[in-house]
Structure 1
Amino acid sequence: MEDILDILIIGAGPIGLACGLEAKKAGLSYLIVEKGCLVNSLYNYPLYMTFFSTADRLEIGGIPFASIHAKPNRAEALEYYRRVTDSEQLKVNLFEEVTAVTPEQEHYVISTSKAQYRAKHIVIAIGFYGIPNLLNIKGENLPKVRHYYFDPHYYYRQKVVVIGANNSAADAALETWRKGADVTMVVREPELGSIKYWTKPDLENRIKEGSIKAYFSSNLSEIREHEVDIQTPEGKVTIPNDFVLAMTGYRPDFSFLQKIGVNLTNDNKRYPQYDPDTMETNLPGVYLAGVICGGMDTHVWFIENSREHAVKIIRNIASLAGVENK
């Protein structure tokens, strides 16, 4: 066990890295631990994904993000965050999962899959991409059901059902169709949802011309090895099927927050308790940063509007330590 750190940051996504940059700037000792790879959530985005935001809105620590196009893609973002980590020599331990957080006198003991650390403060910036929202229907555990979509080539000449109404579902439907898949969308709502402005007309036109079949106000009710049942307003429809891409969204790891003692609301929103001025939770010295702050409302906080969390947190910690945050 090493000396007591000022801050241990859980999560090496963009906001976790931003917290590390602010801690370094303030002269505070810190370590970032991440259970997966660097910016693990972004790594799991679809291969050809393009961000809605411009490059400058994805910057952290004031470090310029140069992009070929106005809207950077996944590969450019991964390159940017690697470059930031290396150029700033951020202290990051990857593939190291936090297993326990225990209070001890005026600090915390943080146990991981590889080591144990002591820290006066903890920042939780774990994002939400690790746990998919399940359909909870028969057959969902079949190997052909995927809650993550990556490369469209895999689905060439396959009968694919895409579930969802927003960006992830739109990208999966269009990309797999363009690579030769027979695509059917199942949309719970009566119309398509919030989709990038350059994607939505494309998808609407493909549906209108019949290239992509879409069932609105409908739900998948059962999945079998070679077919699926869709409950539509007109009744049950059974269609042949090879793969199901369930683009139903994801949720934060509430069990981890509960395990360490962070209060959550009892409603279905599961909002964690924190002070919006300092980002400190009900646990003294434990802070939240990024999308985790929104509970189940995972579309409230993004990289561009939660970068300020890093500044708020480090400013508060620095003031408590009597350090001037530059």
Structure 2
Amino acid sequence: MEHFRIVIIGGGPIGIACGLEAKKKGLSYVIIEKGPIVNSLFNYPINMQFFSSSEKLEIDNIPFISKEAKPKRNEALEYYRRIVTSNELNIHLFERVQSVEKSDEVFRVVSNKATYTSDNVIVATGFYDLPNLLNIPGEHLPKVSHYYNDPHFYASQKLAVIGASNSAIDAALECWRKGSEVTLIIRGYEVGQRVKYWVRPDIINRIEEGSIKAYYNATVKEIRKTEIVIDTPDGEVILENDFVLALTGYMPNFEFLQNLGIALSDDEKRLPQYNPETMETNIPGLYLAGVICGGMETHKWFIENSRIHAPMIIDAIKNKAAITAKS
């Protein structure tokens, strides 16, 4: 059974940043990632372009050079992969953490492949794993997906896209341009204000010209094998339908956080408890890093503003060890 000063759960950009920082400070560590390197980014749409510019996605001051100011998914994969390989980070891929328990100031981390002990644990797992479900009849039909990858798949098909954020709008535009008959179903009265500023006018123009049909203040009531039923201000609408992309957002794995003993707020935000100066949770030695810190406020933390978590956490661990050594 291997022992580390730090076990980092999650091999996304912030988990990688934590590994880099630990290595620089001479602390033994391991990054455990359930999929490939930066698994969440790998599962982004194939043509996805970031809202942030490349320099804001950099970690550890390592330059991120992209063709355009705002890089695309494949460039980000290349960037983070090269960081991992060139720095020879200790990362275990395709390994899923199953439990974390603390006893006598030592954490016991059990995965599907091994068991580790550590003095500290950093959770940097993001929130892209669990979709916000519609909880309606037909949601689990094979034609329904909560993730979008390649527009080619939907060419010449009647496609309903549920949502009004960046993922939904990008999918609607891309699929329409590949020949899909796209219908947008938006719960609010307009396209989301957070949609990328160079994309929002595009979708509004496509809707106004009639290329993409949009239903506002609408919700999906039922999904059937060849139809979709929508509640609108003008009454129920039934549309012929081949595929549904329910891109209604994602959430952290709150059950995993609670099983770790991390306290969550009682309101709908479900904010995890942590010290904003050290990122340490209510469990001593257990830290949070990255977008998972925002609970259901998934627009609060991004790569660009959570990069600071890595040095904050590693410095806190070093300082705590120094204080303990003096006492």
Superposition TM-score, scaled by structure 1 size? 0.98
Once residues 61 and 20 of structure 1 are traced to their aligned partners in structure 2, the CA distance between those partners, rounded to angstroms, is: 10
Q: Distance in 1 between matches of 2:259 and 2:321?
A: 27
Give the Cα–Cα distance (whole angstroms) in 1 for the partners of residues 203 and 82 of structure 2. Answer: 35
Partner of 1:15: 14
Deviations along 1:101-157, one digit per CA (max 9) or x if unpaired, are 111212111000000000000000000000000001110010000100000000010
Q: For the residues of structure 2 that align with 1:318 and 1:88, how far apart are their CA atoms?
A: 21
Partner residue of 1:91? 90
| Pairing 1:75–2:74 present | yes
Matched residue, 2:244: 244
Residues 163-312 of structure 1 correspond to what in structure 2 (within 5 A)? 163-193=162-192, 194-312=194-312
Between the aligned partners of 2:43 and 2:265, the Cα distance in structure 1 is: 29
- Please state whether the residue corresponding to 2:41 is helix, strand or coil: helix
Task: Report the Cα distance in structure 1 between the residues aligned to 2:26 and 2:227, rounded to whole angstroms.
Answer: 59
| 2:149 counterpart letter in structure 1 | F
CA distance in 2, matches of 1:7, 1:304: 23
Deviation at 1:322, TM superposition (A): 2.6
Q: AA paired with 1:293?
A: C
Corresponding residue SS for 1:322:
helix
SS of 1:185's equivalent in the other structure is strand
Work out the CA distance in 1 between the residues paired with 2:89 and 2:300: 28
**SS of match in other structure, 2:269:** coil
Give the number of equivalent residue pairs.
322
Q: How does 1:121-132 map to 2 (within 5 A)?
A: 121-132=120-131
Secondary structure of the residue aligned to 1:63 is: coil
Correspondence for 1:162: 161
Q: Does 1:137 align with 2:124?
A: no
Q: Secondary structure at the match of 1:238?
A: strand
What code does the residue aligned with 1:152 have? P
In structure 1, C-alpha distance between the alignment counterparts of 2:5 and 2:320, rounded to whole Å: 11
Kindly provide the amino acid, as one letter, of the partner of residue 173 in structure 1.
A
Question: 1:319: Cα distance to partner?
Answer: 1.2
| Separation of aligned partners in 1, 2:85 and 2:39 | 16
Deviation at 1:5, TM superposition (A): 0.9
Consecutive unaligned residues in structure 2, runs of 5 or more: none
4+ residue segments displaced more than 2 Å:
none
Deviations 1:206-229 (A, max 9, x none): 000000000000011100000011
Structure 1: runs of 5+ lacking an equivalent: none
The AA in structure 2 aligned to 1:88 is N
Offset, 1:321: 2.2
Per-residue CA deviation, residues 230-278 of structure 1 (Å, 9 max, x unaligned), is 1000100001000000010000000001111111112111100100000
Show the counterpart of 1:41: 40
TM-score (normalised: structure 2): 0.97
Alpha-carbon distance in 2 for matches of 1:18, 1:279: 14
Stretch moving more, 179-188 or 314-323:
314-323
Cα distance in 2 for partners of 1:12, 1:277 equals 23
CA distance in 1, matches of 2:203, 2:48: 16
1:83-122 to 2 correspondences below 5 Å:
83-122=82-121
| Identity value in percent | 60
